Amino acid sequence: MLPKNESEKPAVIEYLYSKYEKGELPDRLVTSDQIREAIGATKAKLGKANQANFLKDIVRSENANSIWPKTLIEKGISARQRYGEKRVFQFIEFSGDQKEPFPDRFPIDKSTETHRIQSASLPFAARQLGRKEESWLTQVVVNLRLIETQLSVFSPLRSRVRDVFHLRMGMKTQPEIDAVFLASYGATQKLKSPTNLHMLVTCEAKQVNQRILEDQIREQVAIALKVTGKIQNPRINAVKPMAIKVVKLSFKDKKEKAIYIVEFSHIDRGDFEAKWSKSSPSDERLYSMPLEAVSKTVYRITPPISGLNA
């Protein structure tokens, strides 16, 4: 059974794909105006006010594969979000041995570390006022120094990290970045190495039952490199994306919510500009940029925090 607000969408998506098959959607791109027209044509009971989230509401759900039209799955067609110029999403073909439209490429597995961490440093009043939303999740991550812990303890860069500093919450770019950190690291493991490099750490936060979206993270890397391009002191040499997600797991037959952090390999500015930077809105190179998970950790938080595990 699909959620009520999603049950009308498959028909709209099928209608839009039929427009592509008729040659009416250049580059398979779908705009907000075209979605409104499709809603009217299919008489779907969907609002027309904010179409920017039309695909987002599907793909961020762990039920995305069951919501996506079966006819498109049979044709090997999925979709990705697109941003700017009224663009909402783009139909894409399955890649390689892909079997489902929205695979989970970064699951918790045998390589995932588990780490207990205290929350007593977060005031008791604050722990009682927590809410189930991304802004609170990122605030918990910032206050409990989870990004610093990930880079210092579990990251392949741990022997080179010098310092990590939280810059801001909610960077209102397109797409938005939930939290941003600045990390400095040595070119080598030598503590007194004269070379000090800097990278921006971007964080995408997801609640329980939400998916990590690869193309959203790629877009965040691109916009982070763009907005920091003019900064000379310090020079931002790279961007390291991270995904933060609330997960519900079983530990010794006890179910518990925890914070799952995926660290991706950092993207060097020079490599990005040479290989994946988009020269135009229709340039597809960005989506070939590899996202390699280099560390994954489940953080078990005690005492409990309202909105997270209480």
pLDDT at residue 5 in the model? 58
φ, ψ of residue 15 in degrees (nearest 5):
-60, -45
Of 122, 111, 136, 89, nearest to 244 by C-alpha is: 136
Segment of 2-11, 249-258, 263-272 carrying the highest mean pLDDT: 263-272
Angle at 10 between CA 20 and CA 72, to 5 degrees: 55
Three-state SS at 124? helix
Q: How far apart are the first and last CA of the chain?
A: 28
pLDDT band of residue 285 (cuts 50, 70, 90) is very high
Q: Which residues pair with 243 in a beta bridge?
A: 204, 262
Q: What strand order describes the sheet that includes 87-93?
A: 29-31, 87-93, 77-81
Q: pTM for this structure? A: 0.91
pLDDT at residue 1 in the model? 44
Return the structure tokens found at 151: 């880079």
| Lookup result for tokens 């597809």 | 284
State the average pLDDT for the chain.
93
